[in-house]
Structure 1
Amino acid sequence: MTNAPALTSDQIPPSYARCFQADCPKADTCARFLAGKYIPTGKVWGDAVYPTARQGNTCTMYKQTRVIRAAYGFKALFAEVKQKDDTPLRNRIKAYLGGNTTYYRYHHGEKLLTPEQQDWIINLFRRAGYTEELHFDGYRELYDFSPT
């Protein structure tokens, strides 16, 4: 994969199911097999993809390796929002992301928004009538290790 960001074991969620089947025809493009190459020092067990997931050339646990442009921070989005729209928009985003704590983890960059989450939030602002300069505070290129 050209121009791929550097990868370390700490970038992979601890509960991410890893695969170790090097003979799989899809191993070269599978995020789970890639994750299997990066085991943290001292980790001796965890979630894994069983050989039974593979049936011939298909695998029920296959996940295409992809690099995404993840986002964080909401200050830029709310910069031009009218006061009457601020709380309803913020509450919708909090509900979508899973609550107050999770919202602030995305806001401060502790968690990063996938492109799909970004689209949902941008579309929320568009439906509310905001169409100019819709962007998040920051972006990072990284491998997608979301569960699905």
Structure 2
Amino acid sequence: MEESFDYSQVPFTFGMCAAENCSHASTCLRHIALKYAPTKKVFLPIMNPNRLKSMKKDKCDYYCSNEKVRFAKGFMCTVNALTVRVADTFRYRMISYFGRKNYYLKRKGELNLTPAEQQEVIAIAKSLGVILKEYFDSYIEEYNWD
């Protein structure tokens, strides 16, 4: 059974693909998003057709898998487990990794953490002596639009 696709989740600037004979079209988010684009949208961000013609049939540098990824939402449980002695060090390292604004948004769960970002949070926490069963507040399965 095919899962329904919600076009409203597609980021505004996400590049779509109209390659007709692509062997990866059935599993590529770029092709699937274009297939579900509403007719009321007149202009869409789409890959240059001339670029598509110049690409090899089997390999695409712009392939974006439609498999959902497990994103984490928030790491306040990790922040709360920090001792006063290492809390500043953790915060400074996270800010240098995410940037100040994104650190606070990701910490509260307003921005999702990718699997790579999750590993970084865990590595920094462990390097400061914080060993937990769970480092994140919750998880969500979503498409990876990057």
Matched with 1:137 is 137
Alpha carbons of 1:131 and 1:40: their partners in 2 closer, same or farther (altered >3 Å)? farther
Contact preservation (8 Å) 1:29, 1:65: yes
After TM superposition, the structure 1 stretch with the greater mean CA deviation from structure 2, 109-118 or 7-16, is 7-16
| Residue equivalent to 2:19 | 21
Distance 2:105 2:44 in 1: 25
**Paired residue secondary structure (2:91):** helix
Gaps of 5+ in 1: none
TM-score by length of 1: 0.82
| SS of equivalent residue, structure 2 residue 89 | helix
Cα distance in structure 1, aligned partners of 2:133 and 2:39: 43
Percent sequence identity over aligned pairs? 29
Contact 1:19–1:32 (8 Å) recurs in 2 = yes
Q: Partner of 2:46 in structure 1?
A: 48
Q: Which runs of 4+ in 1 moved over 4 A?
A: none
**1:49-77 superposed Cα distances (whole Å, 9 cap, x missing partner):** 23324322222211222211111112111
Which of 3, 8, 11 does residue 6 from structure 2 map onto?
8
Deviation of residue 42 (structure 1)?
4.2
1:82 aligns to 2:83 (yes or no): yes
Structure with the larger helix share: 2
Deviation at 1:94, TM superposition (A): 2.1
Question: What is the aligned partner in structure 2 of residue 57 from structure 1?
Answer: 58
Ranges in structure 2 where 5+ consecutive residues have no aligned partner: none
Q: Which residue of 2 aligns with 1:104?
A: 104
- 2:114 is the counterpart of 1:114: yes
1:93 is aligned to 94
Q: What CA distance in whole angstroms lies between the structure 1 residues aligned with 2:132 and 2:15?
A: 40
Distance 1:117 1:38, change over 3 A: farther
Q: TM-score, normalised by structure 2?
A: 0.82
